[in-house]
Amino acid sequence: MYLMAIRDLYSRYVLEWSVSNTMEAEWCTQTLQKALSKHGKPAIFNTDQGSQFTAELFVSVLLANGIQPSMDGKGRAIDNIFVERLWHSVKYEDIYLKAYEHGWLLEKGISNYFSFYNQERMHQSLDYQTPQKVYFNACATQNIKEDRAQTCLN
């Protein structure tokens, strides 16, 4: 099974996620579109250079929404450190402990984990606040576009 997560870099908040048994551009694009519809459009969207993220289908959604694609350098492991840290947390705090036997159990477990991660798990790098608190406080206090503020507050 594959896990895709879209995360706000500043707050570490997981905006959208999905699991699939295939790693395809269509699946990643659907997850991206869900995140954009719920949370608005960022100025920059960072990914690694996986074929699902370099596919015309995926990149065209970013460009059509006025979002600048940003890709990590080839062979530069620390470029993607923030999402790699998330994968480490998911694996060691949930997946390895629970050893899900079926895809639907994995999906349910990941849902519970990301609820915990966003709403309850304190992060040292966020001054021991939750990603949810930091994300919504930033939405409420930063000088951002009106439509983005509305998306953040819903």
Q: Which of 51, 53, 50, 46 is nearest to 71 (CA)?
A: 46
Place of tokens 């295939």: 22
Q: Which residues contact 45 (CB under 8 A, 6 or more apart)?
A: 32, 62, 67, 68, 69, 70
pLDDT tens digits, one per residue of 16-50? 999 999 999 999 999 999 999 998 888 888 887 78
Question: What are 113-134's pLDDT values in tens digits?
Answer: 999 999 999 999 899 999 999 9
What whole-number distance in Å separates Cα of residue 107 and Cα of residue 110? 5
Residue 154's pLDDT is what? 36
Q: Residue 136 pLDDT more than 80? A: yes
Q: Please check whether residue 148 is in contact with residue 139, taking contact to mean a CB–CB distance below 8 angstroms.
A: yes
| H/E run at residue 22 | none
Q: CB-side exposure of 128: number of CA atoms within 13 Å?
A: 0
Per-residue pLDDT of 80-119, as tens digits, reads: 777 888 999 999 999 999 999 999 999 999 999 999 999 9
pLDDT reported for residue 51: 85
For the chain, first and last CA: distance in Å?
31
Percentage of the chain exceeding pLDDT 70: 86
Q: Tell me what pLDDT residue 74 has.
A: 66
Tally of domains within the chain: 1
pTM: 0.83
Domain residues for the domain of 11 are 2-153
Identify the pLDDT of residue 152: 47
Q: What is the CATH number of the domain that holds 111?
A: 3.30.420.10
